[in-house]
Amino acid sequence: MSAASDREFLRMLEKDIDYYAQALERFENMIPRVSSTLQDQWRLQAQARRNFALELDILLEKAHVAAGVPAPENSHKLASDSASC
């Protein structure tokens, strides 16, 4: 791969992670609005999505290393990383 395609891949991956993190935050904000019977199911879904987002972040870090591009200082921290459901 060329350096330009490496940078394009990293840019697209970062954009996808940002979008996914925002969608996850909106999803978690909706949990209290649903009936209590659905809340447990939704919390499990939120945890699965949070785990996937963390895996994407690890992939991004490895892609930065492989491309020889320094990773940004403020990695894609999910708002829900510090909060627990």
14, 73 in Cβ contact below 8 A? no
How confident is the model at residue 55, as a pLDDT?
Answer: 92
Task: Region of 60 please: left (phi>0), alpha (psi -120 to 50) or beta.
Answer: alpha
Q: Which residues of the chain, if any, have pLDDT below 50? A: 79-80, 82-85
For the entire predicted model, the pTM comes to: 0.66
* 17-26 pLDDT, tens digit each: 889 889 999 9
